[in-house]
Amino acid sequence: MKNIKISALFLLMGSFALNAQSLKSPDGKFEMNFQLKNGVPFYNLKYQGKTVVEDSKLGLRLLRDGDIKFASEIESKDQKGKDLSEGFTKTAEKFDSKNESWNPIMGEKKSYVNHFNELAVTLNQEANDRYIILKFRLFNDGLGFRYEFPQQKNLNYFIIREEDSEIDLPTDMKAWWLAGDYDSQEYQTQTTNLSEIPAKWPTSYDGNASQSLIKNAVQTPLMLKKEGKDQLYVNIAEAAVINYPASNLELDATEFKFKTHLTPDAQGAKGYMQTPAVSPWRTIIASPKAEEVLASKMIFNLNDPTEYKDTSYIKPTKYMGVWWEMIIGKSQWAYSTANNVHIGKTDFSKLTPNGKHAANNTNVKEYIDFASAHGFDALLIEGWNIGWEDWFGHSKEFVFDFITPYPDFDIKMLNDYAHSKGMKLMMHHETSGSATNYERWADKAFQLMNKYDYPSVKTGYVGNIIPRGEHHYSQWTINHYLRIAEKANEYKIMVNSHESVRPTGLSRTYPNWIAAEAARGTEYEAFGGNNPDHQTILPFTRFMGGPMDYTPGIFQTKLDYYFPGDTRFVKTTLVKQLALYVVMYSPLQMAADLPENYARHLDAFQFIKDVAVDWDDTKILSAEPGDYIHTARKAKGKDEWYVGGITDENTRNYTVDFSFLPKGKKYEATVYADGDDADYINNPQSYKIYKKTVTSKSKLPMKLARSGGYAISVKPVK
Amino acid sequence: MKNIKISALFLLMGSFALNAQSLKSPDGKFEMNFQLKNGVPFYNLKYQGKTVVEDSKLGLRLLRDGDIKFASEIESKDQKGKDLSEGFTKTAEKFDSKNESWNPIMGEKKSYVNHFNELAVTLNQEANDRYIILKFRLFNDGLGFRYEFPQQKNLNYFIIREEDSEIDLPTDMKAWWLAGDYDSQEYQTQTTNLSEIPAKWPTSYDGNASQSLIKNAVQTPLMLKKEGKDQLYVNIAEAAVINYPASNLELDATEFKFKTHLTPDAQGAKGYMQTPAVSPWRTIIASPKAEEVLASKMIFNLNDPTEYKDTSYIKPTKYMGVWWEMIIGKSQWAYSTANNVHIGKTDFSKLTPNGKHAANNTNVKEYIDFASAHGFDALLIEGWNIGWEDWFGHSKEFVFDFITPYPDFDIKMLNDYAHSKGMKLMMHHETSGSATNYERWADKAFQLMNKYDYPSVKTGYVGNIIPRGEHHYSQWTINHYLRIAEKANEYKIMVNSHESVRPTGLSRTYPNWIAAEAARGTEYEAFGGNNPDHQTILPFTRFMGGPMDYTPGIFQTKLDYYFPGDTRFVKTTLVKQLALYVVMYSPLQMAADLPENYARHLDAFQFIKDVAVDWDDTKILSAEPGDYIHTARKAKGKDEWYVGGITDENTRNYTVDFSFLPKGKKYEATVYADGDDADYINNPQSYKIYKKTVTSKSKLPMKLARSGGYAISVKPVK
């Protein structure tokens, strides 16, 4: 006994001497080990005993520590010895756990489970007499960790030069990645091994209205796969980016090691911190099953519950828009032929109309007629307000006032008209990146929205950010998006932000920030085109932290319909567009095409009219990033299910197993399928619609065309 | 006759061929010649036939011309061929003139004369099919010129890399100069020849809360003197800096040539321009008499009249302040011992008071008692609002909310108390340079002022500007100050801005922006000390574009009165402090010392109580920059005159000639003079006060001590 005791003691001592600590997930499958090596913090991650992440370093380099009296506030020299990256000893550790359910206001399920074991390690840096806390939460779907900086005598204000959180993978892996950038997430996803990224990186992006590329870096969320034996899917992302810049990942492609790379401000500093403060959570979701990655709610679980007092105004929204016709070039946002206008000075009624202004009373009424007749909640109208003549490419600060309509847009009449038909209008605030200007006008802009009962606004950030030198994902701009969300909440307004930062689960804390674009959406089909596998990848990447306003639903995929000889086309079949409403979750969904195209395919349009956008339950039936996704969801508060499946550039067969349905009940499934001869290039509009009675025992074989899909609405038999 | 005609014709042709044009001042003494040499614009300036400014180049270099589609909006390459600096031909010229009087709302005279001849030259740049206008205005006191960029097909948006307006002086000159900087004007003025500036420049500045020095550059307004034969005083400055950065001057010290050097933004660009646009006016005031430079109103004349609808709330203000006691270190702005507070989160009532918070109810009431008893209009109180614990040196964006008082400051009670005694309180908005934060809170802050009837606010910009990377004199920040002035006008509030840009005559257009600090003021006596000649220079430099809140009136000049052993002292005699109220014009004047010091010298204090701050007339009796200034002014609407004289580190005698008084009338002069043994170091508080009957024929010999002065109030004999 004595020997055992002594060795146990030695083990304990050894463990303590090694400053090492272990954490396990609730089901015991994941293990995280924390360790200090020569005063430098490391962690690793194992799944079922196999290494997911090798020993990886943590730490931050600082620009400055402590008060500055009379001197420039940014020093460019390294602060060796003054960084938060070494010289640590572990002085405390605290275990905790939580197992709760919480109900998102809108979501993929009625209720999310938040179940984790937590380890908080206090690290003291003796040389500077200060400490930080590393907090690890291990879920059944993976790991989240963050830095915490408690308020204390010797840590009050500091500026981050760079965060150096590493994720050191043991092997090469298949990766679905975007070129790293401080301003844009709109590149095509690349599919290569990690080792191939440097070679591919230079051709992995195209031009953008605002871009600042980071060589050999990639964006988050990042999707990875270890193929073969011990197959494992790994997703790397971040949660709760608040008062901190968003992070890209630098890659060492020979070591398969990633490191955080924060977005700088105009001066190159990466974060201005006042304690108590925390970093975002760095998240590593892992599973042998791709479906479980898609099903993971870790990123939302790591965000704090909301403190909003009233969330009753936050509602799911299905909308149409005066938008696609401008995107394809059929009409314009601008009203006049001028190219140089002064908000508040130019008399727009005296300008020469260009005859192509889409947001005019007649056109908008037609959209309202159609959208209301088909039960849509709202109509977005872009180009309603003065300023579009020179809105882009000039770094123009006072670019819009967000409150003055063009002469041919009667804001009162159109809102009354929409309301009389049971619909609302959706506001549009394109900021042109001029965030300071938007903040100046936000109160007046939101007051106007309240006056005319606009429940939601689509915002845009096309172009470089003003304050000039800040980036779309800099700390200042992150805080700008949050200020706008909070102010919108004061006015009971929902926000859908385009070209903003990608969501990092913030919809839990800021539930009126209901969606964002922040990736390459449907509009790019009219710009460069989206790869056929694009939509089979995005849910594994962009969607992990929150919904995307992907704006699907294009029926007229070939644009030569409008412009003879035009080679542009949406690279999917019509039916795949229907499936996107199920496969890509958002509480805000657009039927993006022109009414006339829906009118020509009212039978297919019925699916879009029927499909829910808010869910009691979600089943990821089958998924492989870059190849296919098959999803079934139950509409919130209804006995209805919607099933959707999509494929990449390959045809595919898939048998839908309806075992998700309640047992012993009959349902009528309306199936929207690619025609037998459908093809996204050659015959995109070939589809068939048929009904079938199904029960939980039913199986339905589906044939998907190249870049095709299927969509099924399942309702109780009457 | 034929020969004369032909030669006249040749002259004309030659003149036109040389693209040359002449302009004369109304009195014919100044002559400006404009010329294109090989397509490059030049001007020169002569006074009485002698060269004041040699042929000097004009032009601008651009960063970008025209629209950018998908690309970075700032190119770092030169835009040779695309600049607005060469390739010009003169296509039009237009002469004009004006002779008007206008009444400043508050000023040194009831009425200013604006009399000039103008030449506007249209220059076409054929290669780029665009044109600009150079506008010259020649006054009897000198030249102003600016660039105009009319709206036109090929000039809509452009970004300035640098403005290259040269001022090429013919000889070395004596110069009173500040080291060039993008953020601070608080350096000691240096007095050297131009040729000596490079050698002196490295030691010409001290540390500052926010500074960005420009090597070998100097600031404007700049005072120069050509000594000896054809003595000439020259002042170089700018007028109407609106939507444009402020300019320093680069010096070529061998050529005696200055060139504009604009303040950059965070990215290095110098101005974002949308036509129609204009540059500020570059001003060159010149006279054989220093007094006439001081008397010049050119900079104000070059500003546009105001468009404010109601200016009745704009009034002269004499105030005291809870301020100097913090500046000298006797008390603090902050309330508590904390060093890390969170506005909106920290409960200040739970913090430990530091026992040194000056802005507490008891102390403020005592100031109100004293100031109201002595007829002051207002009491400034700094440190009244939460946030001072960590306000400085942290680049903290949300540093103040401008609306929440400290627990020991009862804003309602104190305002009621002041009002009951016929006084108002003066608001204080220290922004800490966080301009974005100030704009966010400005409406609420001004609403609070209206609620408690604060007529004016002192603003401050101590520390680096946020948006980070912008400078105090960048275009963005210039526009910020103007936005604040305009918003304050909506609330009928007067603004006195500290650490802002120096005024450039903008009080004509924005009359509620009544004063600024924007130079080394009295507070520096407690920091590094001001040179004894400092106040004899500032009116020739800082004051040329507008009033300065110099905050004079320190009676207790030696600070060892408070802190035994303290060597700091205000480097003037007590009486010189009185003279400053006359010599340094401002419609807002502070009696800056503590009440107890005035109480000990109520006889001297009487001058401050009596002196006007708004004037019907001003006579600069005698002045030499760096040596002495003697000024007489008539109070607005009263039959009272005030005379003040100051000297530098030398004793000086001066005989005041009262011929400015109306003839045939008797006045009682109360004379405040340095005592016979007075000396700013050894005996600063030695003074004598006596009365004398004077008429327009009187002459009064005054003896000024070292860094001394005299002050005389002249009222009708009762």
Interface residue of B64, B205, B274 to substitute, partner A, most A CBs within 10 Å = B274
Give backbone dihedrals phi and psi of B325, rounded to 5 degrees, phi first.
Answer: -65, -30
Q: With an 8 Å Cβ cutoff, are B396 and A70 in contact?
A: no
Provide the ipTM. Answer: 0.92
- DSSP label of B570: -
Interface residue of A73, A270, A432, A524 to substitute, partner B, most B CBs within 10 Å = A73
The amino acid sitting at A343 is I
Query: Which segment of B75-89, B173-187, B537-551 scores lowest on mean pLDDT?
Result: B75-89
Evaluate whether A313 touches A559 at the Cβ level (below 8 Å): no
- H helix intervals, B296-432: 298-301, 324-327, 361-373, 411-420
Interface residue of A155, A274, A307 to substitute, partner B, most B CBs within 10 Å = A274
- pLDDT band for position B76 (50/70/90)? very low
On whether any CB of chain B is under 8 Å from the CB of A346, the answer is no
Indicate the length of chain B as a whole number. 718
pLDDT exceeds cutoff 50 at A17 = no
Return the closest-CA partner of residue B197 out of B256, B246, B140.
B256
Evaluate whether B642 touches B712 at the Cβ level (below 8 Å): yes
Who's near B573: CB < 8 A, 6+ residues apart? Answer: B557, B674, B678, B679, B680, B684, B685, B686, B687, B705, B706, B707, B708, B709
On whether any CB of chain A is under 8 Å from the CB of B156, the answer is yes
In order of B495, B555, B596, B685, the CA distances from B600 in angstroms are 32, 9, 6, 11
On whether any CB of chain A is under 8 Å from the CB of B474, the answer is no
Give backbone dihedrals phi and psi of B705, rounded to 5 degrees, phi first.
Answer: -75, 175
Return the closest-CA partner of residue B86 out of B146, B22, B40.
B40
- pLDDT band for position B542 (50/70/90)? very high
Evaluate whether A216 touches A195 at the Cβ level (below 8 Å): no
How deeply is A699 buried, as exposed, middle or buried, from its count of CB atoms within 10 A (0-12, 13-18, 19+)? exposed
- H helix intervals, A358-427: 361-373, 411-420
- pLDDT band for position B549 (50/70/90)? very high
How deeply is A433 buried, as exposed, middle or buried, from its count of CB atoms within 10 A (0-12, 13-18, 19+)? buried
Tell me which chain B residues have a C-beta less than 8 angstroms from the C-beta of A339.
156
Q: With an 8 Å Cβ cutoff, are B397 and A476 in contact?
A: yes
Three-state DSSP class for residue B281: strand
Q: What pLDDT, on the 0 to 100 scale, is given for residue B68? A: 34
On whether any CB of chain B is under 8 Å from the CB of A467, the answer is yes
Q: At what angle do helices A435-451 and A475-490 cross, to 10 degrees?
A: 10
Give residues 415 to 434 of A whose Cβ lies within 8 Å of B. Answer: none
Tell me which chain B residues have a C-beta less than 8 angstroms from the C-beta of A397.
272, 476, 479
Give backbone dihedrals phi and psi of A547, rounded to 5 degrees, phi first.
Answer: -65, 155
Closest residue to B266, CB basis, from A208, A394, A468:
A468
Catalytic residue selected from A163, A430, A523, A640: A523
Tell me which chain A residues have a C-beta less than 8 angstroms from the C-beta of B71.
207
Evaluate whether B207 touches A70 at the Cβ level (below 8 Å): yes
Closest residue to B340, CB basis, from A72, A151, A267:
A151
Q: Which residue of B has its CA nearest to A436?
A: B436
Instruction: Give the residue-averaged pLDDT of A449-457.
Output: 98
The amino acid sitting at B329 is G
pLDDT in tens, B586-621: 999 999 999 999 999 999 999 999 999 999 999 999
Q: Which residue of B has its CA nearest to A338?
A: B153
Average pLDDT, chain B: 94
Q: With an 8 Å Cβ cutoff, are A267 and B469 in contact?
A: yes
On whether any CB of chain A is under 8 Å from the CB of B679, the answer is no
On whether any CB of chain B is under 8 Å from the CB of A436, the answer is yes
pLDDT exceeds cutoff 50 at A1 = no
Rama region for B211: left / alpha / beta (φ>0; ψ in -120 to 50; rest): beta
Three-state DSSP class for residue A616: strand
**B486 is a catalytic site residue:** no
Which residue is associated with the tokens 């509602």?
A315
Q: What pLDDT, on the 0 to 100 scale, is given for residue A19? A: 59
Q: Which residue of A has its CA nearest to B68?
A: A393
Q: What pLDDT, on the 0 to 100 scale, is given for residue B15? A: 46
Residue B450 Cα, gap to closest chain A Cα (Å): 20
Give backbone dihedrals phi and psi of A545, rounded to 5 degrees, phi first.
Answer: -100, 0
Q: Which two tokens stand for residue A342?
A: 């002064």
Handedness of CA A674, A675, A676, A678 (dihedral sign): negative
Give the angle B546-B238-B580 at the CA atoms, nearest 5°.
25
Query: Which segment of A65-69, A511-515, B416-420, B559-563 scores lowest on mean pLDDT?
Result: A65-69
Residue A84 Cα, gap to closest chain B Cα (Å): 18
Q: What pLDDT, on the 0 to 100 scale, is given for residue A81? A: 67
Instruction: Give the residue-averaged pLDDT of A533-557.
Output: 98
pLDDT in tens, A96-133: 999 999 999 999 999 999 999 999 999 999 999 999 99
Instruction: Give the residue-averaged pLDDT of A301-317.
Output: 98
Measured distance CA(A634)–CA(B264) in Å, rounded: 57
Three-state DSSP class for residue A63: strand
Q: What pLDDT, on the 0 to 100 scale, is given for residue A73? A: 42
Q: With an 8 Å Cβ cutoff, are A340 and B274 in contact?
A: yes
In order of A30, A128, B640, the CA distances from B635 in angstroms are 85, 62, 6
Percentage of residues in chain B having pLDDT higher than 90: 92
Who's near B260: CB < 8 A, 6+ residues apart? Answer: B162, B163, B164, B165, B166, B247, B248, B249, B250, B282
Three-state DSSP class for residue B437: helix
Instruction: Give the residue-averaged pLDDT of A631-635.
Output: 98
Tell me which chain A residues have a C-beta less than 8 angstroms from the C-beta of B266.
266-267, 467-469
pLDDT in tens, B475-534: 999 999 999 999 999 999 999 999 999 999 999 999 999 999 999 999 999 998 999 999
Q: With an 8 Å Cβ cutoff, are B156 and A274 in contact?
A: no
Measured distance CA(A457)–CA(A540) in Å, rounded: 27
Tell me which chain B residues have a C-beta less than 8 angstroms from the C-beta of A157.
340, 390, 394, 396
pLDDT exceeds cutoff 60 at B71 = no
pLDDT exceeds cutoff 80 at B69 = no
- pLDDT band for position A540 (50/70/90)? very high
Instruction: Give the residue-averaged pLDDT of B24-37.
Output: 98
pLDDT in tens, B4-24: 455 444 444 444 445 589 999
Residue A306 Cα, gap to closest chain B Cα (Å): 17
On whether any CB of chain B is under 8 Å from the CB of A469, the answer is yes
On whether any CB of chain A is under 8 Å from the CB of B662, the answer is no
Q: Which two tokens stand for residue A529?
A: 């085109």
Query: Which segment of A473-477, B392-396, B549-553 scores lowest on mean pLDDT?
Result: B392-396
Interface residue of B187, B278, B443, B468 to substitute, partner A, most A CBs within 10 Å = B468
- DSSP label of A533: T
Q: What pLDDT, on the 0 to 100 scale, is given for residue B80? A: 61
Return the closest-CA partner of residue B98 out of B282, B287, B304.
B304
Measured distance CA(B491)–CA(B442) in Å, rounded: 10
Measured distance CA(A177)–CA(A262) in Å, rounded: 17
On whether any CB of chain A is under 8 Å from the CB of B268, the answer is no
- What number of other Cβ atoms are within 10 A of residue A66's Cβ? 14
Who's near B339: CB < 8 A, 6+ residues apart? Answer: A156, B389, B390
Tell me which chain A residues have a C-beta less than 8 angstroms from the C-beta of B468.
265-267, 269, 467, 469, 476
The amino acid sitting at B133 is I
Return the closest-CA partner of residue B521 out of B601, B431, B458, B595.
B458
pLDDT exceeds cutoff 70 at B112 = yes
On whether any CB of chain B is under 8 Å from the CB of A344, the answer is no
Return the closest-CA partner of residue B26 out of B110, B145, B142.
B142
Q: Which residues does residue B277 pair with via DSSP β-bridges, in sequence order?
A: B149
Q: At what angle do helices A435-451 and B435-451 cross, to 10 degrees?
A: 50
Q: What pLDDT, on the 0 to 100 scale, is given for residue B1? A: 44
The amino acid sitting at A542 is R
Q: With an 8 Å Cβ cutoff, are B70 and A209 in contact?
A: yes
In order of B104, B106, B540, B638, the CA distances from B616 in angstroms are 10, 9, 21, 8
Interface residue of A394, A444, A480, A490 to substitute, partner B, most B CBs within 10 Å = A394
- H-helix or E-strand spanning residue B191: strand B190-193
- H-helix or E-strand spanning residue B145: strand B142-149
Return the closest-CA partner of residue B304 out of B482, B506, B109, B490.
B506
Catalytic residue selected from B238, B523, B525, B640: B523
Instruction: Give the residue-averaged pLDDT of B137-166.
Output: 96
How deeply is A479 buried, as exposed, middle or buried, from its count of CB atoms within 10 A (0-12, 13-18, 19+)? middle
Percentage of residues in chain A having pLDDT higher than 90: 92
Q: How many CA atoms lie within 13 A of B604 on its CB side?
A: 31
Q: Which residue of A has its CA nearest to B153?
A: A339
Three-state DSSP class for residue A697: coil
Q: What pLDDT, on the 0 to 100 scale, is given for residue B647? A: 98
Q: Which two tokens stand for residue A370?
A: 């159609």
- DSSP label of A568: -
pLDDT exceeds cutoff 50 at A271 = yes
Q: What pLDDT, on the 0 to 100 scale, is given for residue B3? A: 47
pLDDT exceeds cutoff 50 at B66 = no
Evaluate whether B241 touches B501 at the Cβ level (below 8 Å): yes
On whether any CB of chain B is under 8 Å from the CB of A76, the answer is no
Q: What pLDDT, on the 0 to 100 scale, is given for residue A272? A: 95
Q: Which residues does residue A278 pair with via DSSP β-bridges, in sequence order?
A: A148
Q: With an 8 Å Cβ cutoff, are A397 and B157 in contact?
A: no
Q: Which two tokens stand for residue A626?
A: 């870059």
Q: Which residues of B52-81 are buried (b: 16+ CB within 10 A; e: fewer)?
A: bbbebbbbbbbbbbeebeeeebbeeeebee
Average pLDDT, chain A: 94
Q: What pLDDT, on the 0 to 100 scale, is given for residue B591? A: 98
On whether any CB of chain A is under 8 Å from the CB of B692, the answer is no
Q: With an 8 Å Cβ cutoff, are B266 and A207 in contact?
A: no
Instruction: Give the residue-averaged pLDDT of B415-426.
Output: 98
Q: Which two tokens stand for residue B541?
A: 């430099």
- H helix intervals, B471-550: 475-490, 534-537
Q: With an 8 Å Cβ cutoff, are A390 and B272 in contact?
A: no
Tell me which chain B residues have a C-beta less than 8 angstroms from the C-beta of A464.
73
Residue A557 Cα, gap to closest chain B Cα (Å): 25
Measured distance CA(A119)–CA(A116) in Å, rounded: 10
**Domains of chain A, CATH where assigned:** 21-65+78-302 (2.70.98.10), 307-509 (3.20.20.70), 532-559+570-717 (3.20.20.70)
Who's near A4: CB < 8 A, 6+ residues apart? Answer: none
Q: What pLDDT, on the 0 to 100 scale, is given for residue A18? A: 53
Measured distance CA(A507)–CA(A495) in Å, rounded: 11
Closest residue to A265, CB basis, from B73, B393, B468:
B468
Evaluate whether B53 touches B65 at the Cβ level (below 8 Å): no
Q: What pLDDT, on the 0 to 100 scale, is given for residue B79? A: 56
- pLDDT band for position B573 (50/70/90)? very high
- H helix intervals, B311-376: 324-327, 361-373
pLDDT exceeds cutoff 80 at A9 = no
The amino acid sitting at B696 is S
